[in-house]
Amino acid sequence: MDLRLVSPDIDPAIVQAMDPEFVRYFIETIQHLTPTHTVPLAECRAHPERFVTPWIYDSSGEPRVSDHTVTSADGFPVPVRVYTPDPDVFGPGPYGVHVNFHGGGFVFGSLQADALFCLKVRDRAGLVVVDVNYRHCPEAVFGKGIEDAWAALQWTHQSNEININPSSISIGGISAGGFLCCVVQHLARDAGLPLRLCVPAVPVTTDSCSYTSLDDSPYPSFREYSRAPLLNWKRMSFFQKHVFPANQMDRLRASLPDWWLSPMRAPDSTGLCDTFLITAECDPMRDEGEAYGVKLVQAGNKVTMKRYLGVPHPFMHMAKVLQKARDYDEDVLNALTVAHQGSI
């Protein structure tokens, strides 16, 4: 295939070695989209319709989908979208529930980002899904998203607005959403809130958004795939500017628990819920994600890890064109089904 790349920030040699299905889709479609990190953030906020990706879907008109509001620790109203299974297929409930945190580098994301996946979890695993639109940087300082994610999990556990079994809860998320999972699974343990499963996918597990140099990371994949498609050093530098700006780092470090900046530095990782941790071979975040999984294993937790070969950071969004993404769907749905067995 002719590897004529639009962006000089991407290494043709990396693309050449990737999954052929992804390479074709990237060359023909994805690389012609305008990356959000190449335009001012104000433009992205003012005109989000200009930066819509093929996997964005508005599920608000779907049956058995309802919008709710969760009150965060500081009183902020956090939007959540609830997906309820068809009682004609899965019975009257109460149902197990999966809480989802979208990705987007802590800067982007919405209730449309993971809607297609939320529908799959509802319709194929028979779970209620609570999709959380936590606050983003820089409009909210880093840490508010963690508070929102934790508030949403607590609301789910205690809510009488949704038809769920509070003893059968799982959490999951992609990228920044995976980071939130890693923090929240520790918070849930500390609060005695039982979780059936945590599913961090291509997670950020360090404060890599604060790095100003490739050499700041101890993990080889960070440098090896610094010019990979979809997530590369240029895009990570954009997130650094908005998530962990240099002039705010001292205040953030003073005001937040250190492990909220990096789950890898959590002082105690014993007694956590089971974890299904997913990484992608051609992803700068690969090694830190897998290191987090190893940390949990060493702390005595049950962890399943799977690395998907030949694909980049957010590959799971591409199920319409990519077999590896469909494999991801099957793997996660199977893991959730097993984790929630006996919940109804």
Q: What is the pLDDT of residues 186-225, one digit of tens each?
A: 999 999 999 999 999 999 999 998 899 999 999 999 999 9
Q: What is the sign, positive or negative, of the torsion defined by CA atoms of 16, 279, 259, 70?
A: positive
**Which residues constitute the domain of residue 272?**
12-339
- CB-facing half-sphere around the CA of 79: CA atoms within 13 A: 12
Q: What are phi and psi for residue 180, nearest 5 degrees?
A: -60, -40
Q: Decide if 108 is inside a domain.
A: yes
Distance, in Å, from the CA atom of 325 to the CA atom of 286, rounded to the nearest integer, reads 16
pLDDT value, residue 160: 92
Structure tokens at 321: 């064109």
Task: Give 160-174 as a DSSP string.
Answer: SSS-EEEEEEEEEEE
Q: What is the pLDDT of residues 35-93, one digit of tens each?
A: 999 999 999 999 998 988 999 999 999 999 999 999 999 999 999 999 999 999 999 99
pLDDT value, residue 8: 83
Whether the pLDDT of residue 1 is over 80: the answer is no
pLDDT value, residue 344: 54
Q: Decide if 344 is inside a domain.
A: no
Average pLDDT estimate for 282-311: 99
Distance, in Å, from the CA atom of 122 to the CA atom of 65, rounded to the nearest integer, reads 10
Task: Tell me the percentage of the chain whose pLDDT exceeds 90.
Answer: 94
Distance, in Å, from the CA atom of 275 to the CA atom of 181, rounded to the nearest integer, reads 10
Q: Decide if 4 is inside a domain.
A: no
Q: Decide if 3 is inside a domain.
A: no
Distance, in Å, from the CA atom of 117 to the CA atom of 331, rounded to the nearest integer, reads 13
Q: What are phi and psi for residue 253, nearest 5 degrees?
A: -65, -30
Average pLDDT estimate for 154-179: 98
Q: Decide if 326 is inside a domain.
A: yes
How many domains are contained in the chain?
1
CATH number at residue 271: 3.40.50.1820
- CB-facing half-sphere around the CA of 14: CA atoms within 13 A: 23
Cis ω on the peptide bond leading into residue 94 (within 30° of 0)? yes
Q: Decide if 325 is inside a domain.
A: yes
- Could you tell me if 198 and 274 are in contact, meaning their C-beta atoms sit under 8 angstroms apart? yes
Q: How confident is the prediction for the chain on average, in pLDDT? A: 96
pLDDT value, residue 9: 83
Beta-sheet pairing, 77-83 with 197-201: unpaired
Label residues 302-325 b or e (16+ Cβ within 10 Å = b): ebebeebebbbbbbbbbbebbebb
Whether the pLDDT of residue 3 is over 70: the answer is no
Whether the pLDDT of residue 183 is over 70: the answer is yes
Q: Which of 11, 39, 3 is nearest to 235 (CA)?
A: 39
In this structure, what is the dihedral angle of CA atoms 278, 279, 280, 282, given to the nearest 10 degrees? 180
Give me the amino acid identity at 44. C
Structure tokens at 244: 């962990």
Average pLDDT estimate for 176-180: 99
**Model-level pTM?**
0.97
Q: Decide if 320 is inside a domain.
A: yes
Cis ω on the peptide bond leading into residue 138 (within 30° of 0)? yes
Q: CA angle 234-220-273, nearest 5°? A: 95
Q: Decide if 40 is inside a domain.
A: yes
SS3 of residue 117 by DSSP: helix
Q: What is the pLDDT of residues 95-144, one digit of tens each?
A: 999 999 999 999 999 999 999 999 999 999 999 999 999 999 999 999 99
